A and B are shown apart, each in its own frame.
Chain A
Amino acid sequence: MSDNGKPKFAMYWAASCGGCEIAVLNINEKILDVDANFEVVFWPVAMDAKYKDVEAMPDKSILLTLFNGGIRNEENEHLAILLRQKSQILVAFGSCATEGCIPGLANFSNTDQIYEAVYEGVSTDNPNHIRPQYNYEVPEGTLHIPAFYPALRTLDQVVDVDYYMPGCPPESHQIAAVIDLVLKVLNGEAELPPKGAVIGAGNSTVCDECGRKRHVKSITKFVRIHEVDEIDPELCLLEQGILCNGPATRSGCGARCPGVGAACIGCYGPAEGVIDYGARLMTAVASVIDSNDPDEIDAILEGIPDPAGSFYRFSMPHSLLRMAKPAWSNGNR
C-alpha cells in the first residue's frame, strides 16, 4: 500500500471474541468513509498486513488505532506496546480493552486452576496431565507458543491509553458517531476530547435511556430472571426484584437489554469518574433493601447468588481488588 498522504488507521484484536470487529463491520456504508479518509495500514480482519511492516513504521506514524481485546498473554502485550509506540491516538476499543469484559472474570482464578479446568475436563483424555509448554521439543525441533499470563489486564494497565470506547461490543451507532467526530476533527470542524475521556457513550447511566417506569425503590426480595413468571414489560426490572446493572452502567447503548426484558449486565462499564464499578452497584442495591435487621438483610441477599460475579461481570480487571493495582504501580504515585 503506497502512502497516499491520508492519515493512517489501524485496528487490532488481542484477547477478544471478534465481536468488536463485527460491530465495526455492522456500520455498513460508514465503513466506506473510513476507507475514503484513512489509509488502513493494519486491520487483520479486513485486510492483510505484516507485523514486520508495522514494526518498520516510524513511531507515531499511525494517527488512530482502535485496540480491542484484553491482555491475556505475551503476544497481546507485545502488540499493545508496539501499537502504542506507532500510534498518535490509541483507543481502548470495547469492553475487553477498556475494563476486561467477561474474559476478565478469569482474574477470580489463577493459571493452575484454569489449566486444571481446561485440561482435566470430563471429556478430556489426559492421563499424563499434560499442560501447554511455551517451548516444547518435538523430534523435528522446538515449538513455541506465547506465555499465558497469570491474569487478564486491560490495555491501560499495560500501556498509556488516550481514549476509551466501552461496550460489548460498542453499539454500531456509537461507532459511527465516533468516526464522524474523528472526521470532523480532521477537517478542523471539531476539537478532540480531553485525553483519557470516554468516547462513544453517554454521560449518565442506562436508566437514563431505559423506557421502563421507575419509582422510589424498596427491595424486599431479589428474584432471578428465570424465576419470574411474567416480567412486567413496563416496570423497572430492579423494582421487580431482578438485579439489573442499569443504574450503575454508563449510558450509550440505548438500554437494549432492558428493552427486551433482559436485565442490563453492565457491558458499558462504570459512569464518569467512578473508581470501582462493582462498589457502585453494590452500594446502590444494598441501600434500598427494605430491612434493618442483619439476618433479614442476609436472607434478602440470598437472592443474589453471585455478588462479585454480578457486580464485576465486565470490570474485574479494573476493580480495586482483582488487578487494578498493577496499573497503578506503573506511575500511580
Chain B
Amino acid sequence: MTRITIDPITRLEGHGKIEIFLNEEGDVENTYFQIPELRGFERFCVGRPVEEMPLLTNRICGVCPEAHHMAAAKAGDAVYGVDPPSAAKKLRELLYMGFFFTDHTTHFYALGGPDFVMGPDAPVAERNILGVIHKVGMEIAGQVLQARKYGHTVVEMLGGRKVHPCTSIPGGVTKGLTEEEREKIEEMGEWAVEFGKFSLDLFGDIVLSNQAYVDLILGDIYTDRTHYIGLVDDDNKVNFYDGKVSVVDPDGKRLGKYAPDEYTDWIAEHVEPWTYLKFPYLKKVGWKGFVDGNDSGVYMATPLSRLNAADGMATPLAQAAYEKFYETLGGKPVHQRLAIHWARLIELLYSAERWMELVTDPEITSPNIHTVPTKVPTEGVGIVEAPRGTLTHHYWTDERGVLTKVNLVVGTTNNYAPITMSIKKAASSLINKGTVVTEPILNMVEMAFRAYDPCFGCATHSLPGQMPLEVTIRDAHGEVVDVLRQFC
C-alpha cells in the first residue's frame, strides 16, 4: 500500500495533518485528517469564577477571541438568569459586527480569495494576497488594510483591547459608548457598507463572470450533501449574536430550531483515538461515519450553512445578495463547498449593514449597560455564531458562581467531519489509478478544506487557510519516490 502524508509545513507543527492511503490499484483507500493539539480549557476553567470566562476563553483563539468572549458572556448571563439591559446587548453586538467585518475581510482577501481571484491553476507564487493586489490593483490593498483597521478599532473602542476584549460581564458590559465615539464608529460604518458592496461586486466581476470558476464551484468534487446549522432570529433571518439554532437536512427541510439550553438534545460529539479533536454530529440523526446524505448526522456550520439554515438576511442589501446567491446556484440548499466564499461576502455586507443599524440606534449611548445579577447561579448555555461556525459554551457553577463543569463545542470543530469528507472526496476524485500528483492537484485538495476557513486556533491554532501542504509519496516499501510541496 502506498501512503501519502500531507503535513502542513512539517509533521512537527500541530497544524493538522492529512494521511492519504492508496490501495494497490493506486486508488484512495482512506484519508485521515488529524488534529495533534489539545489545551484542555474544559478542565482548567473549572474552579474559576464564571465572570472571568469571557476573559479566559478569549485565549482559546486569538483569531476569534470576540466569539468566545460573547459566548462566555451569554453563558454567564444564563448562569445567573440575568437579562442585560438592551443597550448592553446592542453594544456587545456592535463590537461583534466590527469583528466579523475584519475577520471575513481577512479571509476573503488574504487567504481564501486568491484561489478564485487568481484561479486555481495559477502559479503558486502568485496565488496569495500580493497576487490579488497585482491583479485587482494596489488601491484595493489599502482598502483591505483599512477594513481590517476599522473593524479592530470598533473592537478596541468597545472591548478595551484590539485582541482579547475585556468588557463583557454577567448582566452586561463595563463600558458604555460616548457620543464622540459613536460618531467615529458611524463614520467608519458608512465606509464599511461601501466596502461590503464593493467586495461582492469584485466577486461578481472576477468569479461569477468567469464560467470556468462557476463550473468549478458547481463541480461535484466539492459537493457533500450534509445537514446545515446556523443561528437565526425570530424571523429565521441569519443572526450572529443571538437567537435559536436552525437545523436543516440535505434537502433544505428544517428539522427544527433549538434554544441554547437544548443543544445537548441536538448535538453530540464522536471520539476517534487518532486525533485530539472530537467530531460533532446531529444526535437525532446519529453518527454513521464520514459519509453524507440524510441518514448521516454529519453537519456543516459555515457562512454557507447559516444561509442554508436561514430564510434570509435581516438587512436589505445582504438580503438582495442572498436572493441572487440562490438564483445563481440553483436554489436552496447549496451543497457546493466553494460557495462558502460567496456566502462569506454576503455576511460581510450584512455585518456592515448591521453595524450601521446598531450605531445609529439612539439607545446605543445609554448609560444603562449593566443589570446586577440577583438569582443564585446554577447552569447556563451561551451560543453565538463564530465566523467559522456555531459556538457553544455550557457552564455549571456552585452557588458562588464558581465553575464546577464546562463543556465547549467550538466553531471549527463543527466542521471537522465535513472537512475530512471533503478532503477524501477531493483526493479520491483527483488521485486514482496512480495519477501523478501535481501541484495543481494538491491545490485542488487544499481548496477543499480552505473553503471552510478552518481556524484551528480553536483546535490546533493555524490561521484561517494557512494550510500549506507537503506531500510525500511512498511506494509499498515506504521508499520515497517523490516529494511535492504546496505553498500558499
Contact = CB atoms under 8 A, between A and B. Distances in A.
A225 interface: yes
Contacts of B463: 18, 21, 45
A229 to B, nearest CB: 5
B65 interface: yes
Given A18-B63, A44-B462, A117-B406, A225 B278 contact: no
Given A26-B152, A143-B19, A256-B160, A118 B40 contact: yes
Contacts of A23: 62, 162-163
A45 B466 contact: yes
A259 B175 CA distance: 9
Contacts of B159: 260
A259 B60 contact: no
Interface string B1-22: 1010000011111110001010
B13 A260 contact: no
Contact of B3 (A113, A140, A228, A229): A140
Contact of A259 (B61, B160, B163, B283): B160
Interface in A252-305: 256-257, 259-262, 265, 267, 305
A109 B38 contact: no
Contacts of A177: none
B47 interface: yes
B267 A123 contact: yes
A79 B38 contact: no
B485 interface: yes
B337 interface: no
A262 B466 contact: no
Interface string B33-55: 01011111111111111011001
B29 to A, nearest CB: 6
Given A103-B59, A262-B160, A226 B32 contact: no
Contact of B166 (A17, A144, A226, A262): A262
Contacts, number: 262
A106 B280 CA distance: 24
A231 B170 CA distance: 14
B274 A133 contact: yes
B9 A125 contact: no
B333 interface: no
A145 B13 contact: no
Contacts of B394: 122-123
A49 B62 CA distance: 22
A214 interface: no
A146 B12 contact: yes
B347 interface: no
Nearest to B462: A44
Nearest to A135: B274
Interface string A128-151: 001111001011110111101000
Contacts of A229: 370, 372
A48 B488 contact: yes
A48 B8 CA distance: 9
Contacts of B401: 224, 305
Contacts of B52: 265, 306, 309, 313
Interface stretch (A70-78, A157-165, A201-209): A70-78
Contacts of A108: 44, 47
Contacts of B30: 138-140
Contact of B39 (A18, A22, A106, A146): A106
Contacts of A323: none
B40 A106 contact: yes
Given A102-B56, A106-B43, A261 B175 contact: yes
A40 interface: no
B488 A15 contact: no
B169 A225 contact: yes
Contact of B36 (A73, A116, A141, A227): A73
Interface string B382-408: 000000000000100000111001110
B279 to A, nearest CB: 9
B32 A168 contact: no
Contact of A125 (B169, B269, B406): B269
B59 A257 contact: no
Nearest to B373: A226
A113 B45 CA distance: 12
B457 interface: yes
B163 A261 contact: no
A41 to B, nearest CB: 13
Contacts of B195: none
B457 A18 contact: yes
Contact of A146 (B14, B269, B468): B14
Given A118-B38, A231-B174, 19 more contacts: A13-B461, A17-B457, A18-B457, A23-B162, A26-B152, A72-B37, A103-B44, A114-B40, A121-B407, A131-B273, A132-B273, A139-B30, A141-B1, A145-B274, A146-B12, A226-B80, A256-B160, A257-B161, A262-B175
30 contacts: A17-B58, A17-B59, A17-B457, A18-B61, A44-B15, A48-B488, A73-B14, A101-B59, A102-B56, A103-B59, A106-B40, A109-B40, A114-B40, A118-B38, A122-B405, A124-B278, A125-B269, A132-B274, A132-B276, A138-B32, A138-B274, A140-B1, A140-B3, A140-B21, A143-B19, A168-B164, A257-B160, A257-B161, A309-B48, A313-B52
Interface of A: 13, 15-23, 26, 28, 44-45, 48-52, 69, 72-73, 75-76, 78-79, 101-103, 105-106, 108-109, 113-114, 116-119, 121-126, 130-133, 136, 138-141, 143-146, 148, 168-169, 172, 224-231, 256-257, 259-262, 265, 267, 305-306, 309, 313
The 3 A-B residue pairs whose C-beta atoms are closest, nearest first, are A19-B62, A51-B10, A261-B174
Interface of B: 1, 3, 9-15, 19, 21, 29-30, 32, 34, 36-49, 51-52, 55-56, 58-63, 65, 76, 80, 145, 149, 152, 159-164, 166-167, 169-171, 174-175, 263-264, 267-276, 278, 280, 283, 287, 370, 372-373, 394, 400-402, 405-407, 409, 457, 461-463, 466, 468, 470, 485, 487-488
